[in-house]
Amino acid sequence: MARKNVFGIGQGELPAAADSVPNEQSFTDLRPLAGFEKPLKRVSPVGAISQSLGGINERAQRAEDLEKQLAKGQAIVELETEMIDVSFVSDRLGVNQQDHDALVAQIREHGQQVPILVRPHPDHPGRFQVAYGHRRLAAIREIGGTIKAVVRDLSDEQLVVSQGQENNARTDLTFIERSFFASRLEQRNFSRDIIMSALGVDKAALSRMIALVARLPAELIEAIGSAPGFGRTRWADIADLLEDKVKKRTVLEFIGDAGFAELSSDDRFQAVYDRLKQVREPARKSVWQNDSGEKAVRVLENSDRLSLIFDKAVSADFGAFVEAKLHELYSEFQQAQGD
């Protein structure tokens, strides 16, 4: 159960998603991107509505009515699933197999009730890219047959805002998924305004989310996954514990253990937290300075060992020099003990 490459899922894998398992909504409850889209090339009610919207701030005031009108005005098409690629940035940390199986069973019994939203692929003519509906796409790929979709001409900014708004409507992402999604968008140079609109958060909340993710190794977040039972406070506790480099190194080795990936996401979180708490703090920390006052050696000591850590930036060869002198130093130590 490897969890690498979470944000680079290939076409054949179960993609991360912006869907929830409970009964699919009616099409009029879809939340397409209101107030932030280019008009379609054909003349349609959607084009007229889109042109009347002044900007992203109007979405909050007119979202409910406009989004229903936009959804009703869209033409639904049937697409081959092989023609569709996932979004260029995922908002999920892995796929829950039980939720996927439940959605497959639901669509088998009742059919696909809600179309997915796609755009013409910007880099591959004749293909499409998902804005939201990744889990429906994965389910129908397993079932077989075509998928119902609304095709809209979206920029990258419009796609991620639409993707994020759909998840906000479903309140379906965990804290760490939302925070990691925000961090990934910022790394792709999306503006804070775009990210705030996608996630439905204010500037202060977004800053806290991105700052917390910056304190957590990406490989640790991906290894733990969505952790639905744990929110900001507990993730901040882990970030605080990781300030200790010994603890950080220990836990990054721990998540590579064979049995770790077999645990549930919440159990993986708890296992990491417990392991961080178990790593003993050094009983003594000190620094040895040379005659110039430079901190050349760090000393860490607990009941089992004493460690000397040589800073090569201060003196590149000092550590090797001491290593070469160990036999001589040990002989001198034995002599002193004998005296």
Task: Give pLDDT tens digits for 51-86.
Answer: 444 444 444 444 344 344 444 546 788 999 999 998
Strand partners for 285: 300
What CATH number does the domain located at 27-172 have? Answer: 3.90.1530.10
- For 161, the 3-state DSSP assignment is helix
188: Cβ contacts below 8 Å, ≥ 6 apart: 89
Q: What angle do CA 94, 99, 105 make, to 5 degrees?
A: 135
- What pLDDT does residue 283 have? 65
* Count, residues in the chain: 339
Tokens of 114: 């809600």
255: Cβ contacts below 8 Å, ≥ 6 apart: 219, 220, 223, 224, 268, 272
- What pLDDT does residue 217 have? 94
Residue with tokens 């804290």: 175
- For 200, the 3-state DSSP assignment is coil
| Cα(241)–Cα(239) distance, integer angstroms | 5
| Cα(309)–Cα(297) distance, integer angstroms | 5
151: Cβ contacts below 8 Å, ≥ 6 apart: 75, 77, 118, 119, 120, 128
Tokens of 223: 């290894």
Confidence of residue 257 (pLDDT cuts 50, 70, 90): confident
Candidates 190, 127, 196, 154; CA nearest to 34 is 154
- What pLDDT does residue 192 have? 92
pLDDT digits (tens, 9 = 90+) for 18-42: 444 444 444 434 444 433 443 333 4
- What pLDDT does residue 59 have? 41
Sheet holding 306-310, edge to edge: 284-289, 295-301, 306-310
Candidates 261, 299, 265, 267; CA nearest to 283 is 299
pLDDT digits (tens, 9 = 90+) for 193-249: 989 988 888 999 999 999 999 999 999 999 999 898 999 999 999 999 999 888 899
Mean pLDDT, rounded, of the chain:
78
Strand partners for 297: 288, 310
Q: Please count the other Cβ atoms lying within 10 Å of the Cβ belonging to residue 316.
A: 10
Quote the DSSP letter at residue 66: H
| Cα(145)–Cα(129) distance, integer angstroms | 18
Quote the DSSP letter at residue 52: T
Q: Please count the other Cβ atoms lying within 10 Å of the Cβ belonging to residue 311.
A: 16
Amino acid at position 142, single letter: E
Quote the DSSP letter at residue 145: S
pLDDT digits (tens, 9 = 90+) for 309-328: 999 999 999 999 999 999 99
pLDDT digits (tens, 9 = 90+) for 113-166: 888 899 999 999 889 999 888 889 999 999 999 999 999 888 998 898 888 877
Residue 1 in this model has a pLDDT that exceeds 70: no
Strands 116-120 and 146-151: parallel
| Cα(96)–Cα(43) distance, integer angstroms | 41
| Cα(270)–Cα(215) distance, integer angstroms | 18
Backbone angles phi, psi at 285, to 5 degrees: -125, 130
- pTM of the model as a whole: 0.56
Domain ranges of the chain: 27-172, 215-278, 285-338
Average pLDDT over residues 242-267: 90
Tokens of 54: 């002044």
Confidence of residue 167 (pLDDT cuts 50, 70, 90): low
- What pLDDT does residue 338 have? 77
Contact indicator for 311, 297 with CB cutoff of 8 Å: yes
* Percent of residues, the chain, with pLDDT higher than 90: 39
